[in-house]
């Protein structure tokens, strides 16, 4: 394997506004929302590091200081924990500081995922690199990124993670047209569409937020016109790369069959917390029996739902856009 083909860098776009989680994300980035007791973003950085990618570039935006602070030292907190002799918590605090070699660049205008990735060009240079989206958490017990890096090294191509989803959900994702290869979990991608209607989707293979991209993606992104939602879409750039395998190496998909948690949606976020907490040795033994009892109580209880927000005393509020990036 040529040296320039070894992936060492991970790029994590984290400039979204998190509108789906307002008001929680009014003054705090959505990536800092806790999943059990760690911010969602820490799972993603841990996954990159676990796959051998210690150089992490985060693409941030306004309001994202908490992200930088989380991966930096907090001398006052450390001192307090040392004084208390609380070594357990001190270890947790120091762990996120030492986790990776963190770098930050701001996106400026939020012009879409493709635009965010293009901001990584200077830092990445002419090497293949990984992109991890913070809304998807991949269970640390199931390898995905490592497998993608392996496929990238073997095929010298761009590799995306695919998940078979219910056709009713394909409109939430980039969808891929695929051809089989000689490997059971690898497909060749012949076309990609960003968030198609169910009727126009080429398949129910959805791109989940993991990519290993060849540096040619920067050249393509520079020429990619705004697409769906008026944004520069990474999916559109990948479509151009799939169409020009001669100079881009083509695009392959690794079909993921493991556990993935979507923390970008409120309901899925709640499910993710429960699913992850239940397997934790410090919480699972008490949570499991409680959850069973709670579920059985639910069956006979009459339901009385609570309003999402108390009535606004000052009149109607402005509707927010459904777009959450
Ligand atoms: C982005 C991509 C989409 C992909 C998805 C995975 O969409 O544009 O192709 O399927 O991430 O989570 P977003 O969810 O940011 O709107």
With vertex at residue 262, the alpha carbon angle to CA 95 and CA 302, rounded to the nearest 5 degrees, is: 115
Kindly give the distance from the C-alpha atom of residue 95 to the centroid of ligand 1, in angstroms, as a whole number: 29
Q: How sure is the predictor about 319, in pLDDT bands with cuts at 50, 70 and 90?
A: low
Confirm if 101 and 49 have CB atoms less than 8 A apart: no
Which residue would you say has higher pLDDT here, 291 or 320? 291
Kindly give the distance from the C-alpha atom of residue 164 to the centroid of ligand 1, in angstroms, as a whole number: 14
d(CA 60, CA 240): 26
Mutate to test the pocket of ligand 1, among 172, 173, 230, 234 (most ligand atoms within 8 A of CB): 173
Per-residue pLDDT tens over the stretch 103-146: 999 998 889 999 999 999 999 999 999 999 988 999 999 999 99
d(CA 149, CA 161): 11
d(CA 228, CA 285): 46
- Which residues have C-beta atoms less than 6 Å from ligand 1? 113, 133, 135-136, 173-174, 194, 206-209, 233-235, 325
Q: How sure is the predictor about 308, in pLDDT bands with cuts at 50, 70 and 90?
A: confident
Kindly give the distance from the C-alpha atom of residue 133 to the centroid of ligand 1, in angstroms, as a whole number: 8
| Cα-trace Rg, the chain | 21
How many whole angstroms from its chain centre is CA 54?
17
Q: Note the pLDDT of residue 168.
A: 95
Q: Which atom of ligand 1 is nearest to the CA of 113?
A: 8
Picking from 210, 4, 11, 6, the residue whose alpha carbon sits closest to that of residue 103 is 11
d(CA 178, CA 146): 21
Confirm if 190 and 250 have CB atoms less than 8 A apart: no
Confirm if 124 and 80 have CB atoms less than 8 A apart: no
Q: Which atom of ligand 1 is nearest to the CA of 206?
A: 10
Per-residue pLDDT, averaged over 185-201, amounts to 96
Percent of the chain past pLDDT 70, that is, above it, reads 94
Per-residue pLDDT, averaged over 91-113, amounts to 88
Q: Note the pLDDT of residue 3.
A: 46
pLDDT at 251 over 80: yes
Q: Which atom of ligand 1 is nearest to the CA of 235?
A: 9
Picking from 249, 219, 251, the residue whose alpha carbon sits closest to that of residue 235 is 251
d(CA 276, CA 269): 11
Give the residue, by CA position, lying nearest to ligand 1 atom 9.
174
Tell me if residue 115 falls in helix, strand or coil: helix
Which residue would you say has higher pLDDT here, 111 or 9? 9
Burial (CB count within 10 angstroms: exposed 0-12, middle 13-18, buried 19+), residue 3? exposed
Structural domains for the chain:
9-274 (3.90.550.10)
Kindly give the distance from the C-alpha atom of residue 113 to the centroid of ligand 1, in angstroms, as a whole number: 8
| Unique residue bearing structure tokens 């307002």 | 22
Q: Where do the DSSP E strands lie in the chain?
A: 9-14, 34-35, 38-39, 55-60, 101-106, 129-132, 136-138, 158-164, 174-180, 186-194, 205-213, 251-255, 260-262
Which residue would you say has higher pLDDT here, 65 or 165? 165
**Whether residue 144 has a cis bond before it, omega within 30° of 0:** no
pLDDT at 309 over 60: yes
Kindly give the distance from the C-alpha atom of residue 213 to the centroid of ligand 1, in angstroms, as a whole number: 15
Kindly give the distance from the C-alpha atom of residue 208 to the centroid of ligand 1, in angstroms, as a whole number: 7
pLDDT at 257 over 80: yes
Per-residue pLDDT, averaged over 262-272, amounts to 92
């Amino acid at each position: 394997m040529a040296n320039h083909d070894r992936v060492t860098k991970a790029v994590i776009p984290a400039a979204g506004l998190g509108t789906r989680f307002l008001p929680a994300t009014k003054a705090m980035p959505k990536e800092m929302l806790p999943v059990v007791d760690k911010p969602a973003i820490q799972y993603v950085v841990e996954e990159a590091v676990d796959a051998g990618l210690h150089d992490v570039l985060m693409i941030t935006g306004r309001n994202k200081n908490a992200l930088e602070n989380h991966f930096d030292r907090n001398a006052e907190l450390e001192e307090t924990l040392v004084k208390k002799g609380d070594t357990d918590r001190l270890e947790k605090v120091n762990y996120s500081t030492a986790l990776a070699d963190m770098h930050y660049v701001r996106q400026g205008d939020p012009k879409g995922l493709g635009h965010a990735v293009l901001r990584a060009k200077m830092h990445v240079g002419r090497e293949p690199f990984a992109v991890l989206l913070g809304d998807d958490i991949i269970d640390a017990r199931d390898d995905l990124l490592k497998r993608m890096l392996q496929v990238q090294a073997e095929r010298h191509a761009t590799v995306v993670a695919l998940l078979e989803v219910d056709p009713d959900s394909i409109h939430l994702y980039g969808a891929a047209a695929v051809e089989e290869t000689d490997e059971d979990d690898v497909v060749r991608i012949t076309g990609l569409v960003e968030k198609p209607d169910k009727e126009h989707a080429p398949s129910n293979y959805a791109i989940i937020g993991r990519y290993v991209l060849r540096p040619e993606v920067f050249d393509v992104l520079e020429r990619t016109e705004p697409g769906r939602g008026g944004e520069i879409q990474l999916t559109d750039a990948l479509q151009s790369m799939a169409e020009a395998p001669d100079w881009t190496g083509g695009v392959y998909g690794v079909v993921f069959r493991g556990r993935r948690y979507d923390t970008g949606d409120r309901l899925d976020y709640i499910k993710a917390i429960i699913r992850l907490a239940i397997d934790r040795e410090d919480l699972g033994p008490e949570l499991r029996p409680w959850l069973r009892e709670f579920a059985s109580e639910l069956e006979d209880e009459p339901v009385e739902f609570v309003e999402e927000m108390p009535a606004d005393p000052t009149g109607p509020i402005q509707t927010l856009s459904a777009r959450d990036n």
